[in-house]
Amino acid sequence: MKVKCYAQLQSSAAPTGLPGVLGAAFPALKRWANMLCANGAKRREPLKSTTIHHAIGLRVSRGYSRILRNTAACALIAVSLAAVAQTVRTHSLVGSQAPGFIRRDLAGQSIALGSFRGKVVLLNFWATWCAPCQQEMPLFSGWQREYGSRGLAVIGISMDDDEDSARKLVEKLKIGYPVAMGEATLGERYGGVLGLPMTYLIGRDGKVLARFQGNSDLKSMEQKIRAALH
C-alpha cells in the first residue's frame, strides 16, 4: 500500500474550525461540481477546422480541446472534493469510538483493540521507509516502559507491503510494544491513512482523544498521554 510520508505539524483538534467549515460546505461544493460537469457533458460544440499546435506536434481540433479542458476541470474538482471529504472524515474520529479491529502481531499473538478497553491506547500507523516514523518509535517504546504500569498500551500498525522488512526494523529498533501489519481496509476505517506517521490517542472508554500526523510535537503528545492516564 503506497502512503506518503508527511512533514507537517500535529493536528489533533476536535472537528471544529477548518474541518467543520469544510464539512458544512462539502454538499454545496458537490452540487456545484455535478452541475458544472453535467453542463460540460451536454454541450455539443461543432468541430472547426482551426487547430492548435502542441509542442509534440499533435493537431487537436478546437472542439476537442474544449472537451479536454472540461474533462480536466471535472477531474480537478473531483480530486479536490475527495481531499475535502478526507479531511472531514479523519477529523470526525476525534470524540468518536475508535474503529475496532483484530490483527495478529509479528509474534503471532492476537491483537483486539476492544480488549484494551480501560487502558489508554497510542495507536501508531507507520512504515519502514518513513524517517519520522523511525524517530518516533524508540520514544514510544520508552513511553510504554514508563507509563505501561499506569495503563498505557502502545500498538504499532505497519503499512508496509513486506512483513519481513517491518520485522527487521522492529528488531533493529528494539521496539517494546506489539506491532501488526495493516492494509488499505484498516487504514480506511481510520479516515484513510494517506500520510505517515499517523497516530491516534484513544481514551480508556475507547473514544479517540487526539490525532497526530506528520512530524508531531512529541512533548505535547506526551502531555496528552499523561492527562489521559489520570
Q: Where are the domains of the chain?
A: 18-91, 102-229
pLDDT at residue 205, as a whole number? 98
So what CATH class is 102-229? alpha beta
Confirm whether pTM is higher than 0.85.
no
What is the reported pLDDT for 137?
A: 98
Output the pLDDT for position 29. Answer: 55
**Residue 219 burial (10 A CB sphere; 0-12, 13-18, 19+):** exposed
Residues of the chain short of pLDDT 70, as ranges, are 1-92
User: Residue 39: which of 74, 64, 76 has the closest Cα?
Assistant: 74
| Cβ within 8 Å of residue 109, ≥6 positions away | 178
Whole-Å CA distances, 67 to 35, 52, 58, 59, 195: 16, 14, 16, 15, 34
Q: Which residue has the cell 512533514?
A: 7
Q: Is the distance from CB of 225 to CB of 202 less than 8 angstroms?
A: no
Segment holding 29, helix H or strand E: helix 18-42
Q: Give the per-residue pLDDT at 16.
A: 41
Gap between the Cα atoms of 61 and 114, Å rounded: 60
Residue in 192, 205, 223, 107 with CA at minimum distance from that of residue 155: 107
| Residues whose CB is less than 8 angstroms from the CB of residue 138 and which lie 6 or more positions away in sequence, other chains included | 173, 174, 175
Residue-by-residue DSSP string for 125-143: EE-TT-HHHHHHHHHHHHH
Q: Rounded CA gap, 156 and 37, in Å?
A: 42
Backbone φ, ψ for residue 118 (5° rounding): 100, -10
Residues contacting residue 118 through CB under 8 Å, at least 6 positions apart: 151, 204
